[in-house]
A and B are shown apart, each in its own frame.
Chain A
Amino acid sequence: MIKNKSILFNRENLGDCLARGLSKTPQDIIMEIRESGLKGRGGAGFPTGTKWMLAAASLSNKKYVVCNADEGEPGTFKDRVLLTDFTELVFEGMVIAGYAIGAKKGFIYLRGEYSYLLKQLNEQLQKMLKDNRLGKNILGKGIDFEIEIRLGAGAYVCGEETALIESLEGHRGEARNRPPYPVNTGFMGNPTIVNNVETFVTAAIIMARGGEWFTKLGTGKSKGHKLISVSGDCEEPGVYEVPFGISINELLKMAKAKNPKAVQVGGASGYCACSNEFERQISFEDLSTGGSIMIFNQSRDMLHILRNFMEFFVEESCGQCTPCRIGNVKLLEGVEKIERGDCSLSYLRELIELGKTMKIASKCGLGQSSPNPFISIMTNFEQEIFSQR
């Protein structure tokens, strides 16, 4: 359930998104999504319209649409809520995307941890097939599109789009070099778009409400509203729909946080903001997030939190590239050294430099972002952490 009153994710007067989408030409759909300024909701923020345009321009008679439902970023659960409450809009967004780029087949890559949602998703697929909103000659418009659900098997890295495609193909979930990008060389070497669950739902809603309406929400470079999963030390954890540009302070008020000391924006791989940064805003311009906000109050030990994050990355690194495989272990050992009270400041500086190197040298988004909590927590809370040991 979305906790606050929703503007974007609101079915009132929404109408039939699928029918509205399919009444346009593929070019018009892509134009409308481009005009809306919609950026990928999974966290990376790549412009959705551009991705669809590139895939549409790829010459191939086999193309694929993939819905990334491998919601593994710690503290993120908004896709679970969308898959539960807006199931039909997830699928409709995929059909619209398939029509726009010229694909006839879509996959939902559902994380293994969410396998309990399978029954509901399959029921919705059957219903749409029965209502002629999926399958052959959809709504009598001569459009064919089928959707298959594939389950993940407990690997965080498969949220990265090329690792996800590897997994779909039956391989280990190890990220590929990019370029080539999936829009050219994706599933089985064919043009493929991979979008987040929320991106598909938002795209479907844009079909009904219009790209121009969407641009009036949010900030200059971050159009529209975003779903945020709030957890941690607050009275009202849950999923909130917020306009881009909202400050951390406003979010804290919404969730009724008491004595907050720090806020982790963007999950374990995100940025840990301290209290004098609470006026900063959630947006692609400032603090970007795929939807995770975790609140830590005054009683929390920041080093314990950092240790939890680094243990996560050590376990979830796929191990194929050295900066990520070794770097995360070195950062975790650093945390243990600090815990024992024998980490010198010059060694801490070296660890932060190592983190910066990992961000440049790692192959995929996992290793490029896993040093973020180490760098931000050790920068923002260095004095507090060292004074306690």
Chain B
Amino acid sequence: MIDIKQNAMTEEIEMLVGKFGSTRDALMPIIQNIQINHGMISDFAQQEVARMLDVHPVEVYGVVTFYSFLSETPKGRYIVRLCRTISCDMAGKEAVARAVERELGIRFGETTADNKFSLEYINCMGMCDQGPSMLVNDLVFTKLTPHTVVDILSKFK
């Protein structure tokens, strides 16, 4: 079973390398795609990317751990990122944050048991004129209230 999964991952990375190339500057697009497709970049995936780009696996690990949108541990299918920067904060972020935590039954930094939602804070996402704001994967939601945020999340359930 593990072998089959690993073979599939290797094939997927070969395909990505075919698309983006095998030079070092292809690293980011390749691992960003793995992140989107799998919600994480596993140790095995990191090793395979390193092998195909001919860099040390630690180089890949260094990049994966540097960026907040890349992760070496599993994330939920939907990543809820609530903006915590001051304009959104002043517009009522705190009440929205508590409502989300209660609704999903998890704290910020955690993932629901069914792997559906991960909850995170995000630093300023450029929606300061329409706060409080959040991203769910790559969808933007603005002018949130505790009630609207709950309605939005229910659509992803």
Contacts and interface: CB of A to CB of B under 8 A. Distances in A.
Interface in A77-116: 77, 79-80, 111-116
A172 B66 contact: yes
Tier of interface size on chain A: 35 or more
Nearest to B29: A150
Contact of B123 (A238, A305, A316): A316
A229 B124 contact: no
B69 interface: yes
Contacts of A315: 123
Contacts of A324: none
A218 interface: no
A74 B85 contact: yes
Interface stretch (A48-56, A162-170, A344-352): A162-170
Contact of B124 (A75, A170, A188): A75
Interface string B92-136: 000000000000000000000000000000111111111100010
Interface stretch (A20-28, A152-160, A329-337): A152-160
Contacts of B42: none
B152 interface: no
A161 interface: no
Nearest to B85: A74
Interface residues of B, number: 35
Contacts, number: 117
Interface string A136-152: 00000000000000111
A232 interface: yes
- Between A113, A171, A172, the greatest number of chain B beta carbons within 10 A of the residue's beta carbon is seen for A113
B139 A308 contact: no
B154 interface: no
B86 A170 contact: no
Given A150-B29, A170-B27, A238-B129, A116 B123 contact: no
Contacts of B124: 72-76, 268, 312
Contacts of B84: 308
A203 B127 CA distance: 26
B29 to A, nearest CB: 7
Nearest to A115: B138
Given A116-B140, A151-B32, A294-B86, A231 B128 contact: yes
Contacts of A309: 86
A230 interface: yes
Contacts of A32: none
A232 B27 contact: no
- Between A79, A116, A239, the greatest number of chain B beta carbons within 10 A of the residue's beta carbon is seen for A116
B66 A155 contact: yes
B21 to A, nearest CB: 11
8 contacts: A79-B126, A80-B126, A153-B32, A155-B66, A168-B25, A168-B28, A171-B62, A237-B130
Given A150-B29, A151-B29, 20 more contacts: A75-B87, A75-B128, A76-B128, A77-B126, A79-B126, A116-B139, A152-B67, A153-B28, A153-B67, A153-B70, A170-B27, A170-B53, A173-B66, A231-B87, A237-B87, A300-B90, A308-B84, A312-B123, A315-B123, A318-B66
Q: Which 4 A-B pairs have the closest CB atoms?
A: A170-B27, A153-B67, A231-B128, A154-B68
